[in-house]
Amino acid sequence: MTPILSLARHTLIDALRERLLRMLALFLVVLLLATRLASPLALGEGRRVTLDLGLGLLSLFGFLLVMLLGTRMVQQEVEGRTILLVLARPVHRIEFLLGKLLGLLGVVAIGLAGMLGILALALLTAGYAVDASLALAGLCAFLELTIVSALAVLLAASTSPILSAFLLLALYVAGHLLHGLLEMARLVSQPLLAGALKGVFHLLPRLDLYSSALQAVHGTPLSAGTVLWGVAYAALYTAGVLGLALLVFRAREFA
């Protein structure tokens, strides 16, 4: 087993031992309560309400999962000094970061699969149809969280867990409001400011790309091009962020 896979498995096992199951259980409780509370207000749109609530909660809990695990995972090794054991072995620092990211993505994949399963169960028990669009929504959520996970690794490699969590939240919110930034750039009369706003638009993660999954579950099909662009963007952005994380992490010393 390569160091990357070994580190990924180790990260995954660490997360599964304590946090993920609690998160899933919480998701189940919140989803059941929310659908129960919202069903009298649905006015015949029960499936839509359940799906909107479910996918919203899935996105939120997925983000919380990444924020809680991802921003702490490097610091945990540094504070516990176990990083000395790892990096004293023939492990390159990019392998360490990749292993951590893959482990985190494994946790995200299991978490999303679990939450999608719960959502499907909630739909089926309420007598609503479940189709493949739910899986597509899961893929979009996974791609979005892949980018967020890479950002979490970058922040975790650079700064403290609390600051990382704060910055990650800021990037997550900004990533969903990017269209507003582009609109602002169009409206601004000063070319320099407009250029700066466009620059920021291109630097920030385009998490809004993955919001289209909601349209899919409500019957508006997603084109193959949109899905492929979403996959390609997630891969490229993640690679860029990881490159930056490596630059930061290579400079770190462990006294």
Residue ranges of the alpha helices (H) in 80-132? 82-87, 93-125
Q: Of the two residues 7 and 31, which places its CB atom closer to another protein in the complex?
A: 7
Cα torsion angle, 174, 179, 180, 181, sign: positive
Q: Of 39, 82, 125, 160, which lies in the binding site for another protein, with binding defined by CB under 8 A?
A: 82
From CA 65, how far away is CA 69, in angstroms rounded? 6
Distance CA 235, CA 240 (A): 9
Total number of residues that touch another protein (CB under 8 A): 23
Asked whether the beta carbons of 240 and 146 are under 8 A apart, the reply is no
Residue 22 engages another protein in binding (rule: CB under 8 A): no
Residues 6+ apart with CB under 8 A from 213: 55, 136, 137, 139, 140, 141, 222
Q: Residue 129 interacts with another protein (CB under 8 A)?
A: no
CB of 81 to another protein, least distance (A): 4
Does residue 160 touch another protein according to CB under 8 A? no
CA dist 141 to 147, 241, 247, Å? 10, 19, 28
Residue 146 CB, shortest distance to another protein, in Å, is 25
Does residue 17 belong to the site contacting another protein (CB under 8 A)?
Answer: yes
Least distance CB 21 / another protein (angstroms): 14
Under the criterion CB under 8 A, does residue 80 sit at the interface with another protein? yes
**Piece in contact with another protein (CB under 8 A), picked from 10-18, 26-34, 46-54, 187-195:** 10-18
Site of interaction with another protein (CB under 8 A): 1, 3, 6-7, 10, 14, 17-18, 80-82, 84-92, 253-255
